[in-house]
Chain A
Amino acid sequence: MNNKQPILKAENIKKSFKQNNHQNLLVLDNVNLELYEGEIVALLGKSGSGKSTLLRIISGLVKPTAGEIIYRGKKVTEPAEGLAMVFQSFAIMPWLTVLQNVELGLEAQGVPRNERRSRTLKAIDIVGLDGFESAYPKELSGGMKQRVGFARALVVDPDVLLMDEPFSALDVLTADNLRSDLLDLWQSKKTNIKNILLVTHNIAEAASMADRIIVFGSSPSNIRTELIVDIPHPRSEQNPKFRLLVDNIYTLMTTSATDLGNAYRYKTITLGYRLPNVQISEITGLLDMLIEPAYRDKKVDLPILADEAHLNIDDLFPITESLEILRFAQVSKGDIELNAAGKAFAEADILERKKIFANHLLSYIPLAHYIRRILDERPEHRASEDRFLNEIEDYLSEDAAKQVLRVVIEWGRYAEIFAYDYNTGQLSLENPK
């Protein structure tokens, strides 16, 4: 496969966003990627790893800060013909019928009405929406809406199909159904699509669909690794090769580049660390689960844990990450194990838990420690959240900074290391009257 010419090439892509305080936030750094004919490529990474940004750069929607995209020998500077995209939130126009939505791309190309109609009806037929031509999107279920999204992309007869988390807004069954339909379509070769580039944070999805998986590290991302998948379709989740692959990806995604092979070292984080968006109840819930006899005192396989907790594996990652950075558990190579503090926390009562949590929060989360220190230092013991927000924005994008601050405020309030007034946006050391 690799001895052919690539259809599309991303060369040394770099992307940084301007912050409001004139600092640049680097999201992608020197990313290289090649897409070849006849393969499905998955871009796999946690949220915030910059994979969606890369997809938008490839599509021509967003301009890279440096580097270039070469598609069929030409540089991409704006959305190119031959590249079509399917969106996470479907992005179909609620005021257009299914038919009108699908023919949108053809109208833009100026295809005459009759030809447009017949091509559109064919595309609608292919995705199985026959009979819904004049329905409005609100009459359709989520899965059917995404089928409209597929039809709209197929009708312009693209070369490369770009997909931005196309199944993540759907429930599990619908997503499965749609995935297998897409694979059938791909294998039947009814379309001229030469390559599918799929952005996802779902490990199982990447493993079940892709011929090649590109694993993203956290932002500013470099591509961490690339895996070739040579399991024939349809891939069963029971297939030992498949399980091994999933396990493998887990290990890759939970192991940072530095601690391969060495004795376990906790991740030390900095002030600008992007705290995972995790609620206290999720942390305590997972700790409660890990203290059960079945998991206590041993390494637990993450896929198994996800299964047991009825969590999507992608929802599990942020929680295990927070246990790790709070030093309640050791997470490595796709396994998790409670440490002494984790066990103590899980066995304590509510008040004792708060104490332990406060202790860990102040010791291991620099941002929490920093906020507390500022509040201690100030004579009136209060500070505006905006002050800290500005601080975090030196490291993170505006949205990410807001989220991180929200997380640390929730954790800090639970631990009672500081108080927060939503109306005034003030952090303080006093309890509400």
Chain B
Amino acid sequence: MKLDPSASKGNIYRMSFLPKQTYTKNEATIWSIPNYWDIMAIAIIFTFIVLVAWGAKQMLGSYRLGDIIHISLNPIYLPGYALRTTMRLFIALFFSLVFTFVFGTLAARNKHAEHIIIPTIDILQSVPVLSFLSIVMTGFIFIFKNSMLGPECAAIFGIFTSQAWNMTLSFYQGVKTVPKELKEAANIFHLSAWQKFWKVEVPFSMPGLLWNMMMSMSGSWFFVIACEAFSVAGQNITLPGVGSYISLAIAEANSMAVIYAIICMLVVIFLYDQLLFRPLIYWTEKFEESQDDEERARRAWIISLFQRTKFLRKTTSLLEELAELWVNFKPFRTKPKASTNKRSTLLVKMHYLTLATILIFATFIIWDFVLVNISWHEIKYVFTLGLFTGIRVMSLILLSSLIWLPIGVWIGLRPNLAAAIQPIIQFVAAFPANLLFSVATMLIVTFNLNVEIWVSPLMVLGTQWYILFNVIAGTSVLPKELKLAAANFRVKGLLWWRRIILPGIAPYFITGAITAAGGAWNASIVAEVLKWGTINLHATGIGNYIDTNFNSGDLPRLALGTIIMCLIVLLINRLFWRPLYNIAMRRFDID
């Protein structure tokens, strides 16, 4: 139990008395009719529509198992590939969002559902993408026979599994923490569950969800290669896309092609960041209290563009009306009658009965599928592999903490620098680290380095940024007076680190380290196997084990690897990270 010294009635949405802003009506600014901003905005919209249509047509093309999809390393094809990969990412993001809304809300509103959904997602989070992929790909290809949709769906599903979980958890947290008085206000004014969802829960959880969507998008680039190029029943399937392009470039050891791919991805990431995420962030900053108005200077140009257009402003208001129809859609407005107790208890019983059945069934399958096929000896061996990977992850987290802590603090203490650098780091973080793997492979081969050690840095290449982000954030929110007081009493050097900074940023730092470690585990399936042309480097570890068995289609071993990896990750989380986090929150949270 924690005694909260600040047990005030303050709610997070309760606002300090900010200086009033002057308010001018938008209508005051009217342009003459041929508005060249209109032309620019229309051009953007039409380009978008045409591109999507083209991509969709390609996706629906025909495909028979055994067909060879030709991938060309000619950079001319790259924009097309990029488009198709991006579409896959966004379709997956869309489904992740739907999944998030359905299951996040369900878990937050219903405690029976919560008991199942949250632990399940916690486990799914640590299941490597490849394992999901291997489960569904045959199924999808079977369902959509003779169509490109089969492999497309499998790839999209794979990407989906690398995006959805953290989004769902964040949304669930958001809905759970909607302030009581806001809920009461929604009830007293008779908002239906549907309206409450769109008017209260979604906007309230949006800032956190948005951040997680951005992280998911970055994260999924990492797995695009695995998801676009896989093999089913001995057939290699390479979906046209950046991922396949890269995997071909790696197979042919074509470094120019890798560079083209890098440039192409940078452009794509830049584009959707500017066109989608900036405007969304801009929107949440509109109502978020914590945002300084200065910070909003980095406003989204796309919004300014659309605000300047005349024709499109009208279109926007049309869209607003549509949104309103959606939110106030009549059939959803009727309030559900409170279900009678008898019926609901019956439902709950049914629900738990179903669960028990599934559990028994699952145990049976695992037993029949895994344990019968695999000796105890091998299970022990896989555990050892897991420990190898675990040691890599832990030492790398330690190492990157040693590097990024001082740098993060240094940046965090300089607010201007932090503000300037934040978007850059965010951009770098979105860059898929596996593109650098080829460089690493060449280095390892050229200098004849130890594979076991030198693949490790690759595991944290993509996730170390979480540490840096959080350290910067933690340092910059430390009260200014605390820093001044430290200066006043001439607290310096080691004492300053020990007594001021480290305790001050502890909750942030640990959050960053937890996220980075989770990501590193997932990355191990990619990082422990390095390929460059004919060179194949394998490091001993569970990631390697899973990857090898995925490629050879050995399902029982793949399942075993997955289960053991999940177990180890869960154990480390429960026994190490979570207690550490709780201690940090309890002792050092400044609030």
Chain A contact residues, CB within 8 Å of chain B: 56, 59-61, 78-79, 81, 83-85, 87-96, 104-105, 107-110, 113, 131-132, 134-142, 145, 152, 156, 169, 385-386, 389, 399, 402-403, 405-406, 409, 422-423, 425
**Whole-angstrom distance between the Cβ of A92 and the nearest chain B Cβ:** 8
- Besides A61-B187, A95-B203, A141-B20, 18 other A-B contacts (C-beta < 8 A): A56-B184, A79-B187, A89-B9, A104-B186, A104-B199, A107-B195, A107-B324, A136-B287, A138-B18, A140-B20, A385-B3, A386-B1, A389-B1, A399-B7, A402-B3, A409-B3, A425-B2, A425-B3
Bound CA span A95–B526, Å: 41
Q: Which residue of the partner chain B has the closest CB to A277?
A: B7
Bound CA span A96–B289, Å: 13
Chain B residues positioned under 8 Å from A402 (CB to CB): 1, 3-4, 7
Which among B13, B200, B324, B338 has the highest number of chain A CB atoms within 10 Å?
B13
Q: Which residue of the partner chain A has the closest CB to B26?
A: A134
Chain A residues positioned under 8 Å from B3 (CB to CB): 385, 402, 405-406, 409, 422, 425
Bound CA span A90–B11, Å: 11
Q: Which residue of the partner chain A has the closest CB to B3?
A: A406
Q: Are A89 and B23 in contact (CB under 8 A)?
A: no
Q: Are B189 and A94 in contact (CB under 8 A)?
A: no
In the complex, 24 of the A-B residue pairs with CB atoms within 8 angstroms, ordered by the A residue number, are A60-B188, A61-B184, A79-B190, A90-B14, A91-B185, A93-B200, A93-B203, A94-B13, A104-B186, A104-B189, A108-B191, A108-B333, A135-B21, A139-B23, A140-B20, A141-B20, A142-B15, A142-B17, A399-B7, A402-B3, A403-B7, A409-B3, A425-B1, A425-B2
Chain B residues positioned under 8 Å from A83 (CB to CB): 188
Chain B residues positioned under 8 Å from A385 (CB to CB): 1, 3
Chain A residues positioned under 8 Å from B338 (CB to CB): 78
Known: A132-B23, A140-B20. A87 touches B287 (CB 8 A): no
Bitwise, B96-125 to A at CB < 8 A (1) or not (0) is: 000000000000000000000000000000
Q: Are A85 and B195 in contact (CB under 8 A)?
A: no
Which among B15, B20, B179, B338 has the highest number of chain A CB atoms within 10 Å?
B15
Chain B residues positioned under 8 Å from A399 (CB to CB): 7
Chain A residues positioned under 8 Å from B26 (CB to CB): 134
Bitwise, B178-202 to A at CB < 8 A (1) or not (0) is: 0101101111111110010001100
Q: Which residue of the partner chain B has the closest CB to A98?
A: B23
Chain B residues positioned under 8 Å from A87 (CB to CB): 181, 184-185
Q: Are B21 and A139 in contact (CB under 8 A)?
A: yes
Bound CA span A402–B181, Å: 22
**Whole-angstrom distance between the Cβ of A148 and the nearest chain B Cβ:** 11
How many B residues face the partner with a CB closer than 8 A? 51
Asked whether any CB of chain A lies closer than 8 Å to the CB of B204, the reply is yes
**Whole-angstrom distance between the Cβ of A133 and the nearest chain B Cβ:** 9
Asked whether any CB of chain A lies closer than 8 Å to the CB of B298, the reply is no
Contact check: which of B184, B190, B203, B324 meets A81 at CB < 8 Å? B190
Chain A residues positioned under 8 Å from B181 (CB to CB): 87-89, 91
Bitwise, B422-436 to A at CB < 8 A (1) or not (0) is: 000000000000000
Chain A residues positioned under 8 Å from B587 (CB to CB): 422-423
Contact check: which of A90, A108, A422 meets B189 at CB < 8 Å? A108
Known: A131-B23, A138-B287, A386-B1. A89 touches B190 (CB 8 A): no
Contact check: which of B7, B179, B185, B190 meets A109 at CB < 8 Å? B190
Chain A residues positioned under 8 Å from B185 (CB to CB): 85, 87, 91-93, 152
Asked whether any CB of chain A lies closer than 8 Å to the CB of B25, the reply is yes
Q: Are A108 and B192 in contact (CB under 8 A)?
A: yes
Q: Are A139 and B333 in contact (CB under 8 A)?
A: no
**Whole-angstrom distance between the Cβ of A419 and the nearest chain B Cβ:** 15
Q: Are B287 and A137 in contact (CB under 8 A)?
A: yes
Bound CA span A369–B288, Å: 48
Chain B residues positioned under 8 Å from A142 (CB to CB): 15, 17
